[in-house]
Structure 1
Amino acid sequence: MLGPLAFDTTSLSLTNEDTQCLMCCTKYNLKQSLPSFLKHIFDIHHIVIEKPQHIDDFALYLSHWRERFKKTPIEQIIPAVIVKPSNHKYFVLSDLLKEDKVLRHKLKLEAMLRTQEFEREDTTFKTPCLFCKLMFEGKRSCYLTHLSNDHNVRLGNPQNLVYVDDLLKQIEKKLNLLQCLYCEKTFTDRNVLKDHMRKKQHKRINPNNRFYDKYYAVTYLEDHQCNTHVEDLPLEENSDREYADWNESELTITCLFCSHSDKDISNVCLHMNSKHRFNFYNVSKHLDFYQKVKLVNYIRRQIHCLHCIYCDESLQDRDSLEMHLKICQQGHLPDSKLFDQPEFYFPTFENDCFLHYLDDIDD
């Protein structure tokens, strides 16, 4: 049975300002009256918003659909659900609708990016170390480096982590429960746990535990399809660091224009520069990280569909496309209107390793 959803709103980030309804001029303070707003759009406008508690910027989400419904009737955008016996038509906004799915994911990305930017710049972070008596003050990345260098704790590249405070709380909670971070077995005391984690190389997060996906930026780029969190890190040989904690499976990075692959992203970029006359570093150095992601996904799709990345002309085969690109291409960036679109937040190919190493590309 359809109906307005009731749920705990305490964890939602909602504005205290009045927000206008999707379909009329009625305004609600979402922080105080979200259930009333959901009941209003259900009773008056026959609209259901599925899983609103999972929408990161609810006010911006509503603003998007309000503008869409001003331009296009809702019946032309959302298939109606007819409920018996009243025969009332209801319109369900959910991620089953492609536009809604892209919008929700875009808002999630933007919320993650804002948090990550704050965590990278904030210098007021303060915490006692989880493994020694150090009271740490400064940037979160420095504390994560301390955990890695001094205690051999592998949480991954600090530049890939987000919502770090909550991640550290989860780790502290497990340690206080005498649980191993990796296998989650419970031990009799802290010394036994510490010895187990050191000898079994378990000072790391289990990459197959999807609970931790939300703490790694790369999973937001791949819509939670990737569970490779911890990167290959140099080995240490001190008394508490004598065991390697991560040995990632061999991954290869594929050229954006052909099947050439290599384990080093710089070698792949050198290949693209010499073989395809496309200097990825030069054309993308003025883009931010997420624009680079969209550029890669756009090129992947165009090449897969045998379309030119500049003029979108369709070619018959790979050889014709390569010849066309040599004529059309002058080593420049495709028009941003072509690739800087929300749809290209999503990878063309699952687990595209090129996306994992965007920050490692040098001139």
Structure 2
Amino acid sequence: MVAKMAACTGSKDGQDSILEPLCFPEQPASSTSAPSLQGPSVELLVCLFCPESVPLRQKDVLLKHLLLDHKLVIGDVRLIADLPKYMLYWRGRFLEQPVSDFCSVIKTNSTGPLEKQEDYFLLCDVLPEDRILRERLQQKRLEEVLEQQQLERDDSSFHRLCMFCSEEFTGNRSSLLNHMAREHSFSIGLPDNIVYCKQFLDTLQDKLDNLQCLYCEKTFRDKTTLKDHMRKKAHRRINASNREYDRFYVINYLELGKTWEEVQSEDDRELADDEDDDWSDWWAHPVSAVCLFCDHQSETMEQIYSHMKETHGFDLHQLRTELNLRFYQQVKLVNFIRRQIHQSRCYGCQETFECRDDVLRHLVAEGHVMTLPDASTWNQPQYYFPTYENDALLCTLSDSDEGENGETSHVEDVPVIAEDVSELRALKQSSVLNQLLKSRGCSS
């Protein structure tokens, strides 16, 4: 089953409101309750052996204390998803059993006198219990982040001013993020890749309020100087190497302790196994085509064409034959219908409705299912581009017709006619650049 395709995003003025490529979901999203928005952590880190404790942001102080006072080192601390809970767990275990039962013992000055030798303890994921604990904490953190992300996706109470023009945005966070990317060339990523969005924007706003550049983080004397600096130096972006921003991107929670840079830089050859080099365990999801009108999908194209004809009365093959549509005209027609349905608009008469269900009822009631507007409406270059990036229906279109025996006619019998580019030539001749070149005696 395919999730609903943003059915109620139609625009009343007839203009497109798609701001980024759409994509059919591969599987339905599970409905889970999400926790409330979390602010910066104020948890305490408690020593494993004594009452000493420090705020989480001062973890290096406690790690130094463990090393100097208790001779214990925790391996790969940065890979621990929830350090406070990790410390509490081992504090309890060390009360039950001696530390030597869990940790590797490292002797210093092993070749020197016995009185100068010291034992240090290493707590790391070589110990199966420690590895299991780290994985469990990582899994729990990932679940919390995904729930929070879903909460923010569904949140319609978002309210904030743009950091650059003070325009007010309400509803969903994506409206503000898309506005900043489109109008101010400032993008922090796709909305669906971001989590804890309010805290992220608060962090960026604080930097601007403190007259600090978002990229190089230099401080300037006034707002005008800061704006000029960010414009001239192309610093209207964030610094990807700033670890402060990692917690706002879902990709940084996907694997145990790995950042997005480490995930992307991994060499796939390291995963190769010479003893198991076949593809027998590969189970790929079948490519499914989605109906133009509803969420139904089929694994074969014959099934999806039959579904649209029997359920909705729409026969794409008939339209192709009656209108003598070439391949690229079919592509534009499918993308046009997709977009109109996504915008909750009847593609036959261009009337706009509140949601997709209303459009479908209108199509049937008014007999507009097989009614197309004038070709000038849909036969436009903008509809070369898929409304949904993974639209498998586009892969089935053909220039040829099938005969009664099921065989496809020869492609050579179908003339290939180029698209009319006369308007583009005229536009080129009248362009400002072309006029400037002519005035300088250059050819266009």
The TM-score normalised by the length of structure 1 is 0.46
With a CA cutoff of 8 Å and minimum separation of 6, indicate the structure with the bigger relative contact order: 2
* Structure possessing the higher radius of gyration over alpha carbons: 2
